[in-house]
A and B are shown apart, each in its own frame.
Chain A
Amino acid sequence: MPPVPLIELREVTKRYGQGPVVLDRVSLTAQPGDFVSLIGPSGCGKSTLLRLIAGLNPISTGSITVDGQTPEQAAAELAFVFQEPTLLPWLTVGKNIALPQQLRGVAPAAIAATTQKVLDLVRLDSRARAYPRQLSGGQKMRVSIARALSLSPKILLLDEPFGALDEMTREHLNEELLAIREHQAWAAFFVTHSVAEAVFLSNRIVVMAAGPGRIHAEIPVPFAYPRTAQTRLSREYHDLVAEVSRVLRSVENAAA
């Protein structure tokens, strides 16, 4: 008998009121350890899909199970990283990271220990007392990721977290994200516009099509983890980036 998937979407359709269908019968599963990137043209509903899994919006028809429960019931297993760092400007880095634990009523001593641990993971332990406005864009995003990791989620949902950063910072953070995963096992759903980023990070790439949003293709990424900056130099990496780009372009052309 196959194991129960960590995340299972069955024929998920999303429609806001009587408006157009945003997502049409999307089926998708993920196992522990999966890193799934969602890529596709604007309006293909990839961010919406992420929000449905997070339980931030209700689905119209179909079903989503997370660890055998509804997304709402599984809230403790899920963490979301928004496009923006979404930090509270009046709290220090340390207190921003402690916030989810405080909201959940974790004991102060445990909060301090966990906050220290995730700060170390994102290599920001020296900035614990800084305020968000004193940080660079990349540092803010690392705080946002540290906050998401503070509740030890089983699944991390990331909605284009590095979209606003420059290329160099983005590549560094991609490497860091994978490095963190060597210490903490979580499955990831990662929305991005960057094919290179998707290939570097994921073991599966889901290419979506628009109008209505649906899954067009699933492309496995066979490279073994851990991956490093060296991975980007390999021939296989470049070939796969070219292949995924080709599929993505065919989807975009079909829509046009």
Chain B
Amino acid sequence: MSKRFLNILLPAATGALFVAVWYVVRFSMGEEMQFLLPSPGDILTALHENAGSLARAALNTTQGALLGFAAAIIVSSLLALALSLSSLVRVSFYPYLMLLQMTPIIIFAPILVLWVGPGLHSVVVITFLICFFPLVVNSTQGLISTDRNLVELFRMYRASRAQEILRLRVPAAFPYFFTGLRIAATLAPIGALVGDYTAGSSAGDGGGLGFQAIIFSSQAKYPALFATAAITCVLGFIFVAFVISLSWLVMHKWHDSYERADA
């Protein structure tokens, strides 16, 4: 059997098994408890019935996730550049970056709403805060991990500081940057969802997926709740697929991690 065929067949079989187990568990629960675990069929129906509101909510969440993600990329890259320039700067700021990462953002969500206003603003800020840390840490690490021999080569050729950064340190940091980007891409839709869950509202835009989740939950519309989760998953896949494609575009010709595909 060809490897390609197995690559499709095996995950499909696992998926089928998973759905089968799902139905078994559901039927073993007894009829009066089955509302707690909707069947995949119920979820698809709910998806269809709530298509309009879910699509609008997904769009809002995507918008918040994209804006927060983009802002985190820009700010983290600039900060990583600054941090990479001097170990003194790194020593001064690193503990507080750690502190920021450890801070449970959900606790500050209510006050964030007061600071920047509910809805999209809060969602963007929370997504930004969640995506920021893996990006800045990886990019900084990449910028300071440049092969010492290559740095020496640039010194040997009397390269300016700007030439060293732009032609050497930045491209050398790409693999690290994309590692951070991949982590942040999985976090962005979740961040937006959490932001929306705690700080979203129906004000103006009708809220995002997090807000929908609250509504469905309060109305005990559990199939619709599962449908909301499924959409968030798909959103995450799209984000990650985009980052993986981008990383392939930038690095497949030269980076060792793509060697196999190229050979």
Query: Quick one: given A103-B163, A131-B253, A131-B254, are A86 and B149 in contact (CB under 8 Å)?
Result: yes
* Chain A residues with CB under 8 A of B156: 54, 56, 75, 80
Q: Are B154 and A103 in contact (CB under 8 A)?
A: yes
Q: Are B157 and A104 in contact (CB under 8 A)?
A: yes
* Chain A residues with CB under 8 A of B221: none
Q: Are B254 and A103 in contact (CB under 8 A)?
A: no
Q: Which of B172-187 contact A (CB under 8 A)?
A: 172, 174
Q: Are B157 and A103 in contact (CB under 8 A)?
A: yes
What is the 8 Å Cβ interface bit string for chain A, positions 64-87, against chain B (1 contact, 0 not)?
A: 000000000001000010101010
Shortest B162–chain A CB gap in Å is: 11
Query: Quick one: given A103-B163, A131-B254, A132-B254, are A88 and B150 in contact (CB under 8 Å)?
Result: yes
* Chain B residues with CB under 8 A of A132: 254
* Chain A residues with CB under 8 A of B256: 89, 133
Shortest A159–chain B CB gap in Å is: 11
Query: Quick one: given A88-B171, A103-B159, A133-B259, are A82 and B254 in contact (CB under 8 Å)?
Result: no
Shortest A4–chain B CB gap in Å is: 24
Partner of B254, one of A56, A75, A133: A133
What is the 8 Å Cβ interface bit string for chain A, positions 98-127, against chain B (1 contact, 0 not)?
A: 011011100000000000000000000000
Q: Are A103 and B158 in contact (CB under 8 A)?
A: yes
Quick one: closest B residue to A157, CB to CB?
B156
In the complex, A91 Cα to B174 Cα: how many Å?
Answer: 13
Q: Are B149 and A75 in contact (CB under 8 A)?
A: no
B153 within 8 A of A: yes
B168 within 8 A of A: yes
In the complex, A127 Cα to B259 Cα: how many Å?
Answer: 18
Q: How many A-B residue pairs have CB under 8 A?
A: 48
Shortest B171–chain A CB gap in Å is: 5
What is the 8 Å Cβ interface bit string for chain A, positions 177-209, against chain B (1 contact, 0 not)?
A: 000000000000000000000000000000000
* Chain A residues with CB under 8 A of B259: 133
In the complex, A54 Cα to B156 Cα: how many Å?
Answer: 8
Query: Quick one: given A100-B157, A103-B159, are A90 and B152 in contact (CB under 8 Å)?
Result: no
* Chain A residues with CB under 8 A of B152: 56, 82, 86
B155 within 8 A of A: yes
Give the number of chain B interface residues (Cβ < 8 Å). 23
Give the number of chain A interface residues (Cβ < 8 Å). 19
In the complex, A99 Cα to B171 Cα: how many Å?
Answer: 14
B48 within 8 A of A: no
Q: Are A82 and B149 in contact (CB under 8 A)?
A: yes
Shortest A111–chain B CB gap in Å is: 14
* Chain A residues with CB under 8 A of B147: 86
* Chain A residues with CB under 8 A of B171: 88, 90
Shortest B59–chain A CB gap in Å is: 37
Q: Are A75 and B158 in contact (CB under 8 A)?
A: yes
* Chain B residues with CB under 8 A of A102: 167
* Chain A residues with CB under 8 A of B255: 89-90
In the complex, A100 Cα to B156 Cα: how many Å?
Answer: 9
Q: Are B254 and A89 in contact (CB under 8 A)?
A: yes
* Chain B residues with CB under 8 A of A56: 152, 155-156
In the complex, A183 Cα to B150 Cα: how many Å?
Answer: 28
Q: Which of B184-201 contact A (CB under 8 A)?
A: none
In the complex, A88 Cα to B172 Cα: how many Å?
Answer: 8
* Chain B residues with CB under 8 A of A82: 149, 152-153
Q: Which of A19-67 contact B (CB under 8 A)?
A: 54, 56
In the complex, A88 Cα to B167 Cα: how many Å?
Answer: 10
In the complex, A84 Cα to B172 Cα: how many Å?
Answer: 17
Of B147, B159, B254, most buried by chain A (CB within 10 Å of CB) is B254
Q: Which of B125-162 contact A (CB under 8 A)?
A: 147, 149-150, 152-159
- Sample 30 A-B pairs with CB under 8 A, ordered by A number: A56-B152, A56-B155, A75-B158, A80-B153, A82-B149, A82-B152, A86-B149, A86-B152, A86-B153, A88-B150, A88-B168, A89-B254, A89-B255, A89-B256, A90-B172, A90-B174, A90-B251, A90-B254, A91-B254, A99-B167, A100-B157, A102-B167, A103-B154, A103-B157, A103-B158, A103-B163, A104-B157, A104-B158, A131-B254, A133-B259
Q: Which residues on A are within 8 Å of B, measured CB to CB?
A: 54, 56, 75, 80, 82, 84, 86, 88-91, 99-100, 102-104, 131-133
Give me 12 other A-B pairs in contact (C-beta within 8 A), A56-B155, A86-B153 excluded: A54-B156, A56-B152, A82-B152, A86-B150, A86-B152, A88-B150, A90-B171, A99-B167, A103-B159, A103-B167, A104-B158, A132-B254
* 10 cross-chain pairs, A with B, having the tightest CB-CB distances, nearest first: A131-B254, A86-B149, A90-B254, A100-B157, A103-B159, A89-B254, A103-B157, A90-B171, A86-B153, A80-B156
